[in-house]
Amino acid sequence: MTDPTFEFSHAITRRPAPSIIDGLRAQDVGTPDLDKMLAAHAHYVATLKETGATVIELPPLDAFPDGVFVEDTALCLPKGAILMRPGAPSRMGEVGEMEPALRSVYDDVRQISGNGHVEGGDILVTGREILVGRSDRTDAAGVAELREIVADWGHSLREVFTPEGVLHFKTDCSLLDGETILSTKRLDASGCFEGYRVLHTAEGEEAAANSIRFNQYVICPAGFPRTAEMLDKAGFNIVQVDNRECAKLDGGMSCLSLRFSATRPA
């Protein structure tokens, strides 16, 4: 039996557009290099495919500079998908662009339609619950509406809080298996992962927390050797992908894909 929290048949990605240079960023640490980002993105997609998964590769969206970060547009669960309502106004239109791809693989697609906001980067699905972090992009009203939708499919949702100055909840954590979480010490200190097995990123390597477990691989951002060594020693099969260009836009490994097992063939 597969584990729906990290064993997937499909992923959706979107190629970066030339407009990526205008993407949102909390602070300006340099302009992304499109050619380098495309090369890293190709490595990321190839790694997903190596697991045997089908990757639905969507074309660039020049009208939406942050369109490469598809995870924020939806939450994919075994029984259905939920279209999000991003907290960044410039990203609202990305949701409609993602909808056709989700409807091609899901019979049940719902939507956050109230006044609240939720972004996928604030949502961590574990083996026992859905954790949703309140942040600058995800508010109480959005969390409340999401709770009602996922309850229909038998999921419990727990609201937690993203650390001050951190863009998304998953900026500081990721799922390694059904019961194990990779986290920064600052996020774990909040107590939100009580009852889980938690592995900490190395000091100074907090950005490594945004990794993903995808089938047999843990896909990590390159350049964080102590965290990579720790994960390797813990028995995880890691693949390191250059994330330097995405990081200039506060993006990471989870942001670049929607991961799920399709309810019908694409």
Low-confidence ranges of the chain (pLDDT < 70): 1, 263-266
- CA–CA separation, 5 and 128 (whole Å): 10
Question: What's the pTM?
Answer: 0.96
Which pLDDT score is estimated for 127? 93
* Residue 164 and residue 181 in contact, taking contact as beta carbons nearer than 8 Å: no
Convert the pLDDT of each residue in 93-126 to its tens digit: 999 999 999 999 999 999 999 999 999 999 999 9
Q: Give the residue numbers annotated as catalytic, written as ranges.
A: 168, 255
- CA–CA separation, 27 and 167 (whole Å): 11
* Residue 71 and residue 257 in contact, taking contact as beta carbons nearer than 8 Å: yes
Q: What domains are defined for the chain?
A: 10-260 (3.75.10.10)
Which pLDDT score is estimated for 116? 98
